[in-house]
Structure 1
Amino acid sequence: MIRHYVLFKLKPGVSWDDPKVQQAEQMAAKVGAEVPELREWTVGRNISTRPVAYDFVAVGLLDDMEAVERYMTNTFHQEAISAWREISDWVIADVEE
């Protein structure tokens, strides 16, 4: 099993009030239902105020790296990535469980 973590940091000047951010957040919430390879999918806003904290997280569980590759190329997932690309930067980690 692979635990897939994505941490998003909103770009300077971008806030949660921005309709583009709200759209990206809504799309992220739907990824779990739209990508069949995902066994689990959790998203949410970070509540920490520490300077090193990221703003939003998505965490998924997939069977193996082949499933991760299919997830990465899924059409809906690609649309969600496009929405986030405009408003944020992000980092990922794939951890074998």
Structure 2
Amino acid sequence: MIRHLVLFKLNDGVSRDDERVVEGVRAFEALSGQIPELASWECAWNITDRPIAYDYAINCTVADRDALVRYLEHPAHQAGVAQWQGFATWVIADYEI
């Protein structure tokens, strides 16, 4: 099993209520029902306000490396990523559990 973690930081001047952000969140929230490789799926806003904190997170699992590649290449995932590229940066970690 592989855990895929993504932490997003909104760009300067971009707020959670920006329509692009609202649509980007909606796209990510819908992924669990669209991508069969996802064994688990969580996404949510950070609830703390600290200088080093990121704003939004995705935490999901897939069965193996092949499933991770299929997830990453899935058109619905790619569409969500394309949206977020316009208003955020992110870091990822993929590790076996």
Settle same-fold status: TM greater than 0.5: yes
Query: Residue 93 of structure 1 aligns to a residue in which SS?
Result: strand
Counting aligned pairs with the same residue, the percent is 40
For the pair 1:32 / 2:32, whether they are aligned, the reply is: yes
Structure 1 outlier segments of 4+, above 2 Å: none
Which residue pairs with 1:8 in the alignment? 8
- How many residues of Structure 1 are paired with residues of Structure 2 in the alignment? 97
Query: Residue 71 of structure 2 aligns to a residue in which SS?
Result: helix
CA shift digits 1:4-45 (9 cap, x unpaired): 001000000000110000000111101111111001000000
Which residue pairs with 2:43 in the alignment? 43
Q: Which whole-Å CA distance do the structure 1 matches of 2:11 and 2:47 have between them? A: 17
Query: Residue 36 of structure 1 aligns to a residue in which SS?
Result: coil
Q: TM-score, normalized by length of structure 2?
A: 0.98
Which residue pairs with 1:80 in the alignment? 80
Query: Residue 85 of structure 2 aligns to a residue in which SS?
Result: helix
Q: Which whole-Å CA distance do the structure 2 matches of 1:85 and 1:34 have between them? A: 21
Q: Which whole-Å CA distance do the structure 2 matches of 1:48 and 1:65 have between them? A: 32
Which residue pairs with 1:22 in the alignment? 22
The runs of 5 or more residues in structure 1 that have no matched partner are none
Q: Which whole-Å CA distance do the structure 2 matches of 1:32 and 1:54 have between them? A: 22
Q: TM-score, normalized by length of structure 1?
A: 0.98
Q: Give the superposition deviation at 1:65.
A: 0.8
Q: Give the superposition deviation at 1:93.
A: 0.3
Query: Residue 28 of structure 1 aligns to a residue in which SS?
Result: helix
RMSD over aligned Cα, in angstroms? 0.5
Q: Which whole-Å CA distance do the structure 2 matches of 1:77 and 1:84 have between them? A: 11
